[in-house]
Amino acid sequence: AQSVTQLDSHVSVSEGTPVLLRCNYSSSYSPSLFWYVQHPNKGLQLLLKYTSAATLVKGINGFEAEFKKSETSFHLTKPSAHMSDAAEYFCAAGGNNRLAFGKGNQVVVIP
């Protein structure tokens, strides 16, 4: 079975500063990995995914994530936070027809 750990349930960043959201996974094989974003009372939107191609994955809205097998990590970054980035972010690991989600990071952007 796979599991995903997201530390720092709440993250505050100042507008214009970098964003770093950490994700670690546990799996018996190299899983597919995903980051989703959820704005209040909305569904989840796919930001980016890793599926065993390039380890540095670029997504929408300037986000990117790097797969590091040795660290079992898939951290999400963005160089400069924008007010519209305020949302909840979920990391997920795929396998066996389903996704295992982390508990999410609630991101607050301070003007």
Partner 1 sequence: SQTIHQWPATLVQPVGSPLSLECTVEGTSNPNLYWYRQAAGRGLQLLFYSVGIGQISSEVPQNLSASRPQDRQFILSSKKLLLSDSGFYLCAWRVAGTGDTQYFGPGTRLTVL
Residues in touch with partner 1 (CB under 8 A): 31-32, 34, 36, 41-46, 49, 51, 90, 94-95, 97-99, 101-104
Find the shortest distance in angstroms from Cβ 5 to partner 1: 12
Q: Closer to partner 1 at the Cβ: 9 or 12? A: 9
89: tokens are: 């972010």
Q: How far is CA 24 from CA 2, 73, 100, 103, in A?
A: 11, 4, 12, 12
26: tokens are: 């546990």
42: tokens are: 């909305």
Q: Closer to partner 1 at the Cβ: 63 or 81? A: 63
Find the shortest distance in angstroms from Cβ 31 to partner 1: 8
Q: Coil, strand, or helix at residue 15? A: coil
Instruction: Give CA 32 to chain center in angstroms.
Output: 13
Find the shortest distance in angstroms from Cβ 66 to partner 1: 19
Q: Closer to partner 1 at the Cβ: 13 or 90? A: 90
